[in-house]
Amino acid sequence: MHEQFNFAIEVLGTISFSMSGTFAAMQKRLDPFGVLIIAFVTSVGGGTVRDLLLDVPVFWMHDLLTCVLILVTSIFAMIFKSIEKNFKVTLFIFDSFGLGLFTIIGIQKGLNANISPLICIGLGTITGCFGGIIRDILLNRIPLIFRQEIYATACILGGIIFLGLTRYTRLSFTFIQISTILLIVTIRTLAVKYHWQIPKFYGYRNDAEM
């Protein structure tokens, strides 16, 4: 049952980020091949970096289902876009759910590899964020994680809550997973709605200007 639920999380996370990458690429008016490439890197980018850091086989290179799922989801999203009106909201929804789902996957991968809890939170953040970073770089945008928006912070807070509930409560593991995913999505949603931001640095005057 537990393995089946983990599989469901991976599938839903892949679908969410594939949709997110597809919509982001279509915003930039890329051709269908370009859209597929962006959908692919958005879906597997974070997990690829995570597996390289863990020194384990990269997950999608031995899993044809992931590649097929990205392909089918991206094609569906391209067709769906013809009737989609509120494009920005759709992109945000899929990106937020992908963030939450993949963060939990990354943390669990770290726990299974007997990595310390602090590093597990980092792996969860990498899994959740790095696909979006690569996507934004390829689309010539400043990645969300480097802007004022609450993005990686949501992963970190979710990871702390996840590990805390796992270690100090007797709640079912499935319930903790679902609760943490929803918490990350909620933090992202409230942050955007109420304009919660992390302070940023402003440019300093250089010697020539003084």
Question: Per the structure block, which two tokens stand in for 210?
Answer: 């003084």
Residue 86 has pLDDT above 50, yes or no: yes
Q: 3-class SS at 134?
A: helix
Residue 147: inside a domain: yes
Average pLDDT over the chain reads 89
Q: Which domain holds residue 177?
A: 2-193
Residue 122: inside a domain: yes
Q: 3-class SS at 149?
A: strand
Mean per-residue pLDDT, 70-96: 82
Name the residue with higher pLDDT: 82 or 126. 126
Mean per-residue pLDDT, 91-106: 93
Residue 209: inside a domain: no
What is the rounded distance in angstroms from the CA atom of residue 198 to the CA atom of residue 201?
Answer: 10
pLDDT at residue 204 in the model: 55
Residue 83 has pLDDT above 60, yes or no: no
Backbone angles phi, psi at 71, to 5 degrees: -60, -50
Residue 202 has pLDDT above 80, yes or no: no
Could you give the number of structural domains in the chain?
1
pLDDT at residue 4 in the model: 86
What is the rounded distance in angstroms from the CA atom of residue 10 to the CA atom of residue 142?
Answer: 27
Residue 200: inside a domain: no
Mean per-residue pLDDT, 50-67: 94
> Max Cα separation, the chain?
66
Residue 201: inside a domain: no
Name the residue with higher pLDDT: 137 or 197. 137
Q: Band the pLDDT of 210: cuts 50, 70, 90.
A: very low
Question: Per the structure block, which two tokens stand in for 14?
Answer: 């892949």
Residue in 5, 4, 10, 185 with CA at minimum distance from that of residue 106: 10
Residue 199: inside a domain: no
Give helix then strand counts, H and E, for the chain.
7, 0
Residue 206: inside a domain: no
Residue 32: inside a domain: yes
- Portion of the chain with pLDDT greater than 90, in percent: 71
Which region among 20-24, 44-48, 195-199 has the lowest average model confidence (pLDDT)?
195-199
What is the rounded distance in angstroms from the CA atom of residue 90 to the CA atom of residue 84?
Answer: 8
